[in-house]
Amino acid sequence: MADLQGIMVALITPFTDDQSAIHEGRLQMLVERQIQAGVHGLVPGGSTGEFTSLTLAERTAEQP
């Protein structure tokens, strides 16, 4: 296993305004912004607290 190095970002999970689903457009913008900023790794569904409130389908869809 390779050593992880650099900046790793635990992503938030952006939801639609009514909180009923993951907002895919906002998630894409967030990912693109992090890449433009030079991060080396992204951690979706990680330690930001939303993971337990997502369905399995939402957890799978959130993976880049």
For residue 19, being part of any structural domain is answered with: yes
For 11, 12, 17, 37, the CA distances from 47, given in Å and listed in that order, are 8, 9, 22, 21
For residue 30, being part of any structural domain is answered with: yes
> Tens digit of pLDDT for each residue in 41-60?
998 876 665 667 778 888 78
Please tell me the distance from the alpha carbon of residue 3 to that of residue 61, in angstroms, as a whole number.
27
Q: pTM of this prediction?
A: 0.70
Q: How many independent structural domains does the chain possess?
A: 1
In the three-class reduction of DSSP (H, G, I as helix; E, B as strand; rest coil), residue 10 is classed as strand
Look over the chain and give the mean of its residue pLDDT values, rounded to a whole number.
86
* Domain membership of residue 31 as a residue range: 8-60
What is the distance of C-alpha 42 from the center of its chain?
7
For residue 28, being part of any structural domain is answered with: yes
For residue 3, being part of any structural domain is answered with: no
